[in-house]
Amino acid sequence: MKKGQVAMEFMTFVGLAIFLLLLFTAVAGYYLKLSTRQQAALAGQNLALTLKSELNTAAIVEDNYNRKVRLPGQLEGRDYGLQISGREVTIQYGGNDYSELIAMDVGAGANADVATAKKFLQISKDAAGVIKLSLVQS
Q: What per-residue confidence (pLDDT) applies to 29?
A: 96
**123 CB contacts (<8 Å, ≥6 apart)?**
54, 55, 58, 65, 66, 67, 68, 69, 131, 132, 133
pLDDT class of 15 with cuts at 50, 70, 90: very high
Q: What is the pLDDT of residues 39-48, one digit of tens each?
A: 888 888 999 9
Q: What is the pLDDT of residues 59-100, one digit of tens each?
A: 888 888 888 988 888 888 888 888 888 888 888 888 888 899
For the entire predicted model, the pTM comes to 0.71
Q: What per-residue confidence (pLDDT) applies to 12?
A: 94
